[in-house]
Amino acid sequence: MGAYDVHPEIEANTRAVARALTEAGAVVEEIELPWTRDDLLISLAAHFSTVFGAVVSEIEAKHRDRMSAYAVAFADTMAAVRRQVTYLDGLRVETRLQRDLGEAMAPFDAPICLTTAVPGLPAGDDLLGRLVVNGEDHGEPLWAAMTVPFDINNRCPVLNVPSGRSSGGLPTGLQIVGHTYDGPTVFRIGKAVERLRPWTYTPDHRPAVQ
């Protein structure tokens, strides 16, 4: 997805899904979206600061003492961002991101890509620290969520399915991205992935029934 650094276990599970689809008869090719970190950051900043972030800020103004440390920090950050990035800035960049995505996926039924850049975030973490992937500091922990570009460029249906498990036992995910309004293809591929790699239904992964 162009601008993301990815944990090796996440990449390995994604490639395993691609191999399984290939062996089942699908044509799978690797491509790289031409998205840049700067464009993604501007798009995210404009979207979150003027839409979702603005709602959080309204709540924060009345109930700051009842909010989590991360929610308070998010509201403060978005308030600062609103003075630097406008909604119009975001729309201009979003148009470019959407065009790049449309051109890249045009020859294919549906791109498949990673859901998160890391297997998980520490339990109990207040999310005020830094996201480190492969020894590199990527700043805001939200950068771990590779779903965000599709939340913003939301003209495409996206389905998340399991791609496997990390060495720590956490599930890893795969996004299946469809063309505009083409939800059926997304679900068809998702069903195929779950049949080819039914890891969640293995005997060692079922909860005990009393």
Residue 70 to residue 60: CA distance in whole angstroms? 11
Is 205 within the bounds of a domain? no
Cβ atoms of 184 and 176 within 8 Å: the answer is no
Q: Is residue 90 part of a domain?
A: yes
Flag whether pLDDT at 90 surpasses 60.
Answer: yes
Residue 64 pLDDT: 83
Q: b vs e for 174-196, b when ≥16 Cβ sit within 10 Å of the residue's Cβ?
A: bbbbbbeeeeebbeebbebbeee
Residue 65 — pLDDT band, cuts 50, 70, 90? Answer: confident
Range of the structural domain that residue 23 is part of: 8-198
For tokens 């890893």, the residue is: 172
pLDDT in tens, 47-64: 888 877 778 888 877 888
Residue 119 lies in a domain: yes
Q: Name the token pair of 151.
A: 């939340």
Two tokens, residue 22: 């290939």
* Joined tokens for residue 62: 């009345």
Q: How many domains does the chain have?
A: 1
3 lies in a domain?
A: no
Half-sphere exposure of 75 (CA within 13 A, CB side): 16
- Residues 83 and 15: their CA atoms lie apart, in Å, by 41
139-158 pLDDT tens trace:
666 777 888 888 877 788 99
Domain presence at residue 144: yes
**What CATH number has the domain bearing residue 133?**
3.90.1300.10
Residue 17 lies in a domain: yes
Q: Is the residue at 136 inside a domain?
A: yes
- Would 206 be classed as within a structural domain? no
* pTM assigned to the model: 0.83
Give yes or no for residue 129 having a pLDDT over 60. yes
